[in-house]
Structure formats: structure tokens, C-alpha cells
Amino acid sequence: MSRGSQRLFATLVAGMSVLAVARADAQVVANQRDDFEGGTTMGWHVGDPTHPAPPTVIATDGPAGAGDAYLRLTSFGSGGPGSRLSALNTTRWAGNYIAAGVTQIEMDLINLGQNDVSLRLLFGAFPDGQGPPTDLAWSADAFFLRAGAGWVHAVFPILPGAMIVPLGTYAGALGGADELRLFHNPAPVFAGPENSSPPIAAVVGVDNIRAVAVVPEPATVALLATGVLGLAAARRRTRRA
């Protein structure tokens, strides 16, 4: 790894370790869905407790119209708390996505602000639920959400070919995720969402976040099997150490 890459990852690790939150014994399952009809954020939050506008449930005007609740995310641009668009979940969306057979995450989105946004997912694994992370993976392709377009359905594939793995392994990040994060960044390669994601003034609505198990092609099945075996081997080595 070059000296520049080492500096990049040092910055990433420092930022992510501050935000690491110990998770309960959660385990993501296929077809679980966050629809926010119960009036709570269902564990979605921001890492900075000083954020002036953390995720909020809006009781109406979701994709189904009047009476359909959704989650609203807000960022303010410039600098300081709340400048970047990001939300994370360390409870319901932690766990082993590979074992659960989850191959994509779908959700309904609306851009209520004036600026277009580019959304990605990030999976992070932290030893014993604490930082710094040992494994990170995020979406290679962002979902472009145009301002004023109304509600749209977004699909985020999470198979190996759809993810960038800057730290550790795909199997480590998706097989032992302690955090799922939704965040804005047009650039696919960067130093992590809290370090070099661009500030943006944005308001985004999110609803019906769902873990989907789609039967993959045979070549993808082989990749997933390799990832599971690699994760099991790594855990055996850790137990021997």
C-alpha cells in the first residue's frame, strides 16, 4: 500500500471509530422492512449527537400518499454539525447478509431539497462492536436522486461485484456487519463518509427499506460461497490466536 493510501485509510479509520456503536444481538433477515408506520425511526440515527436535525418520522405523504409515514433525512451543507447527508443503523440492519441470502436492499426515496443527491450504502464491521473498523464495503454505483422528481424506487445491489472494499474483505463487511449507512457521495473512491463526503444542503425522504433475497446467477453463487468459506476460516484463525 502506498504512503498516500496509508494516510487515506488512517483518516478513514479515525473517523469511523468515533461513530462505532456497540450493537445488540441483531441479525438481519431476508424480507425485513422498515416502513416507519409505528412512529419511530426504527434505529436510524446520525453519528453526531450535535446534529441539529437528526432523522425524523413524518406521519403522512409517503409513497402511498396521505397517512403513509416515512423517514426524513436533513443536511445543511457548508461546515459544522449536520453538513453531510448520512444516516446509519446499528441494530435492525446489523448481521450476516451473506448467511441471510440478502442480495440487494430496496427502498423508496424522494428528494425534497433543491440539490440532486447521489446515495450509496456502506457496511462496516467493528471488532466487538467497537472501532476502528476491520472491514468496510460500500456501493460502487451511486443511486442518483434528482430534486423534484417525486417518489422513486431504488435498488442497491450488494453482491461482491457491486461493492468497493477499501478495507478488509467483502465477507468480513457483509458477513459481520455492525453498521449499515445510507449517505451521499457522487465519488466512488474516497476516505469515508465522515471524512471526505461533500457537504450538501439536502432533504431526503426514505421509506420501505427492505432486505431482498434474489436468487443470483451460478457464477455469483460461487463468489458468495468463497466469501462464506473465507469468513469461516478467518474466524477459526482468530479463535486459535
- Please tell me which residue, 225 or 86, carries the higher pLDDT value: 86
> What is the pLDDT of the chain when averaged over all its residues?
85
Per DSSP, the three-state class of 237 is helix
CB-based burial label for 66 (10 Å; 0-12, 13-18, 19+) = exposed
Query: Which tens digit of pLDDT belongs to each residue from 200-218?
Result: 999 999 999 999 998 765 6
Of 185, 85, 199, the C-alpha closest to 138 is 185
The set of cell numbers assigned to 81 is 454539525
Residue for grid cell 440515527: 45
The domains located in the chain, with CATH, are 3-240 (2.60.120.430)
Query: Which tens digit of pLDDT belongs to each residue from 171-200?
Result: 999 999 999 999 999 999 877 655 668 999
